[in-house]
Amino acid sequence: MQKIIRITTVPSSLRTLLKGQSRFMSDHYDVIGVSGDGDALAEVRQNEGIKTHVVEMTRTITPLKDLKATYQLYKFFKSEKPFIVHTHTPKAGTLGMLAAKLARVPHRLHTIAGLPLLETKGTKRTLLDAVEKFTYSCSTKILPNSFGLEKIIIENKYTTPEKLLVIANGSSNGIDTKHYDTAHVSEETKTELRQELGISKDDIVFIFIGRIVRDKGINELVNAFNRLSKKQLKCKLILVGPRENHLDPLLPETEVLIKENNQILAVGMQKDIRPYVAISDVLTFPSYREGFPNVVLQCSCMYLPCIVSDINGCNEVIEDKVNGLVIPVKNELALENAMQFMIDNPKKRKDMINHTRSRILERYEQEFVWSEILKYYNSLG
The 10s digit of each residue's pLDDT in 211-223 is 999 999 999 999 9
How confident is the model at residue 61, as a pLDDT? 85
Cβ atoms of residues 225 and 339 within 8 Å: yes
> Average pLDDT of 233-250?
93
Query: Measured between alpha carbons, how far is 87 from 66 in angstroms, rounded to an integer?
Result: 15
Residues 189 and 121 in one domain: no
> Average pLDDT of 274-288?
98
Residues 374 and 351 in one domain: no
Query: Measured between alpha carbons, how far is 342 from 336 in angstroms, rounded to an integer?
Result: 10
Q: Is the pLDDT of residue 4 over 80?
A: yes
Model pLDDT for residues 320-371, shown as the tens digit of each residue: 999 999 999 999 999 999 999 999 999 999 999 999 999 999 999 999 999 9
Residues 226 and 348 in one domain: yes
The boundaries of the domain holding residue 280 are: 182-363
How confident is the model at residue 338, as a pLDDT? 98
CATH number at residue 100: 3.40.50.2000
pLDDT averaged over the chain? 96
Residues 106 and 12 in one domain: yes
> Average pLDDT of 64-75?
98
Phi-psi category of residue 25: left, alpha or beta, with phi > 0 → left and psi -120 to 50 → alpha: alpha
How confident is the model at residue 60, as a pLDDT? 86
Model pLDDT for residues 107-122, shown as the tens digit of each residue: 999 999 989 888 889 9
How confident is the model at residue 247, as a pLDDT? 82
Residues 79 and 122 in one domain: yes
Q: Is the pLDDT of residue 229 over 80?
A: yes
Residues 148 and 264 in one domain: no
pTM of the model: 0.86
Q: Is the pLDDT of residue 381 over 80?
A: no
Residues 210 and 261 in one domain: yes
Query: Measured between alpha carbons, how far is 174 from 328 in angstroms, rounded to an integer?
Result: 26
How confident is the model at residue 135, as a pLDDT? 97
> Average pLDDT of 154-164?
97
Give the number of domains in the chain.
Answer: 2
Query: Measured between alpha carbons, how far is 220 from 264 in angstroms, rounded to an integer?
Result: 14
How confident is the model at residue 39, as a pLDDT? 96
> Average pLDDT of 219-247?
95
Q: How far is CA 355 from CA 184, 306, 348, in A?
A: 20, 11, 11
Residues 131 and 187 in one domain: no
Phi-psi category of residue 321: left, alpha or beta, with phi > 0 → left and psi -120 to 50 → alpha: left
Residues 371 and 285 in one domain: no
Q: Is the pLDDT of residue 372 over 90?
A: yes
The SS3 assignment for 329 reads: coil
How confident is the model at residue 232, as a pLDDT? 87
Residues 100 and 197 in one domain: no
How confident is the model at residue 118, as a pLDDT? 85
Model pLDDT for residues 25-62, shown as the tens digit of each residue: 999 999 999 999 999 999 999 999 999 999 999 988 89
Pairing mode of beta strands 141-144, 204-209: unpaired
Burial 156-176 (b: 16+ CB within 10 A, else e): eebbeeeebebbbbbbbbbbb
Residues 199 and 161 in one domain: no
Residues 234 and 121 in one domain: no
